[in-house]
Structure 1
Amino acid sequence: MPSSPRSIAEVPARSDATDSPSFSPLYAQIKALITAKLQSGEWKAGDLIPSELDLAKRFGVSQGTVRKAIDEMAAENLLVRRQGRGTFVATHAEQKVQYRFLRLMPDEGSESLERQLLDCRRQRATTAIARALQMRTGDAMVEVRRLLSSKGVPVVLDDIWLPGDLFKGLTTERLNLHRGPFYGLFEREFGVQMIRAEEKIRAVAADEASAQLLQVPVGAPLLSVERLSFTYGDKAVELRRGLYSTTSHFYRNELN
């Protein structure tokens, strides 16, 4: 049975002093309530959420307060506004945002990368991976290796580690049957939505194994990108280490 609507009265009381550490603007409290609904699964990836007017009535605040909260969530890619249709929960399955965590761009034009799954297996988490994913050493995890290619030429070698308890049933067959980005599969079939990521980037030289898979000489310069992805509540749910060949591609980022 769905829970009863939560009003703003349920938000912890805040201090009247704006310089108090406990002070939280009203729109930020509404943002927290909406985020809680996303985290609980009441509104899933791709769902239309209630209108600003309906949310204002539900939470007992003005429509302008709700609009400010939604504006901020849209800027953070948690929600997507669609003119004349309403506001939707962001999804990696949507064409224009499905590769928003992948910043490798071709030197000329645009392209879609082809995917080749090399391996998918259940393992026990090492100490380093367990620490990154907020697990215990030896906990079950899923390890995935894949190649991304441009016009038949490999450009990315990805190693991906996922918490086993969140991705029960993730197999090679399941990944091969899925045609879109992995994140779309993760949110649709496992209820895990990647909402933000942190990356560490460094230059490395290709070792023998990576050189063979990426079809570059041993010692060739590669870009190493380590990404830790988070879902709601700042919970780490994916560790990914990618080796990027930048012979005909570059890594692009936008700074705001």
Structure 2
Amino acid sequence: MFEKVVLPDEKSGFFPSRSPLFEQVKASIIKKIQQGVWHHDDVLPNEIELAKIFNVSQGTIRRALKELVQEGFLVRKQGKGTYVSSYEAEFDAFYSKFVPIKADDPAQKWKTYVRMTDYEEIAPTPRVCHLMGITDTTEVIIHIKRQHYSQLENKDKVDCFDELFLRKRFFPGLTRERFLGQKNSLYAFYQREFDITILHRRDILKAALLNAEQAKFAGVSLPYPAIIQQSQAFDINNNLVELRYLTTITDYCHYEALR
């Protein structure tokens, strides 16, 4: 799922001969998005124009676009054309892709409001270096803690505890105040403010028990069960830019994923 996309050789510009033609077109389109030729929420040329640009048939273009839509690079808008994915413009599609938590009650939607409890710049721990592939131990990491309130039952009860590790070199100029100003979704914020599109994420889920501090904010007694989700988020250039731990109390919700 997270293997690097096959792109043309930087010097020769040629694709491996074994690559099918539509795969070559896909890689070229991805390359243009990575280079900023086509930016998020930009509309692509139509199929006829793309066929001329890449010197291939419309059928080849159609197949390449279809797969890029399925993989999340592009989105089709009925009657308007094919656009580079924008998490802000296509929030519902983003939400279903990256938020696997659902309310147990099908009549309710799982949506939280969030409060930040800590923001600091730190040196990466050995574990963070390992999980984020960091070799330079002097690299600056932005460490953020947040609490999520779902308001399904008790508006004062914390349902999730969120811990983020961001590589500062990918988020230049990010400050506590700027982070507090973001609304809607983090990934839309990353895309809008830093031109970082989160394309893939690797999630590991484990059963766990709340610690004493978490239990206090959640208003429960220890021991109390929860689920910890460890997420490694990759941008469109396959850089691992965010590590996240989300500890969720599943009294009124569950994890649900369509594979």
Tell me the TM-score normalized by structure 1: 0.88
Query: Aligned-pair distance for 1:13?
Result: 4.8
Q: For the residues of structure 1 that align with 2:62 and 2:13, how far apart are their CA atoms? A: 18
Q: Is 2:241 the counterpart of 1:250? A: no
Cross-structure match for 2:93: 97
Q: Is 2:105 the counterpart of 1:132? A: no
Cross-structure match for 1:211: 215
Report if aligned partners of 1:229, 1:237 keep a CA contact under 8 Å in 2. yes
Alignment CA distance shift 1:160-1:87 (3 Å) = same
Partner of 1:198, secondary structure, is: strand
Report if aligned partners of 2:75, 2:84 keep a CA contact under 8 Å in 1. yes
Amino acid across the alignment from 1:97: A
1:111-135 deviation line (CA, Å, top 9, x unaligned): 4311111122211111221222222
Partner of 2:120, secondary structure, is: strand
Q: Residues 1-256 of structure 1: matches in 2 within 5 Å?
A: 11-15=13-17, 23-93=18-88, 94-99=90-95, 100-108=97-105, 109-135=108-134, 136-151=136-151, 152=155, 153-255=157-259
Report if aligned partners of 1:143, 1:160 keep a CA contact under 8 Å in 2. yes
Alignment CA distance shift 1:11-1:67 (3 Å) = farther
Alignment CA distance shift 1:207-1:13 (3 Å) = closer
Query: Aligned-pair distance for 1:91?
Result: 2.0
Q: For the residues of structure 1 that align with 2:23 and 2:231, how far apart are their CA atoms? A: 28
Cross-structure match for 2:4: none
Query: Aligned-pair distance for 1:95?
Result: 2.4
Partner of 2:91, secondary structure, is: coil
Unaligned runs of 5+ in 2: 1-7
Greater CA deviation, 67-76 or 41-50?
41-50
Q: For the residues of structure 2 that align with 1:145 and 1:49, how far apart are their CA atoms? A: 38
Query: Aligned-pair distance for 1:25?
Result: 0.5
Q: For the residues of structure 1 that align with 2:69 and 2:28, how far apart are their CA atoms? A: 15
Q: CA-atom RMSD, angstroms?
A: 1.7
Alignment CA distance shift 1:213-1:138 (3 Å) = farther
Query: Aligned-pair distance for 1:89?
Result: 1.2
Tell me the TM-score normalized by structure 2: 0.87
Task: Name the count of aligned residue pairs.
Answer: 240
Report if aligned partners of 1:157, 1:244 keep a CA contact under 8 Å in 2. yes
Alignment CA distance shift 1:216-1:90 (3 Å) = farther
Q: For the residues of structure 2 that align with 1:72 and 1:49, how far apart are their CA atoms? A: 15
Report if aligned partners of 2:207, 2:226 keep a CA contact under 8 Å in 1. yes
Q: For the residues of structure 1 that align with 2:73 and 2:87, how far apart are their CA atoms? A: 11
Amino acid across the alignment from 1:101: F
Greater CA deviation, 240-249 or 141-150?
141-150
Q: For the residues of structure 2 that align with 1:195 and 1:158, how far apart are their CA atoms? A: 20
Moved over 3 A (4+): none
Partner of 1:74, secondary structure, is: helix
Unaligned runs of 5+ in 1: 1-5, 16-22
Greater CA deviation, 197-206 or 213-222?
213-222
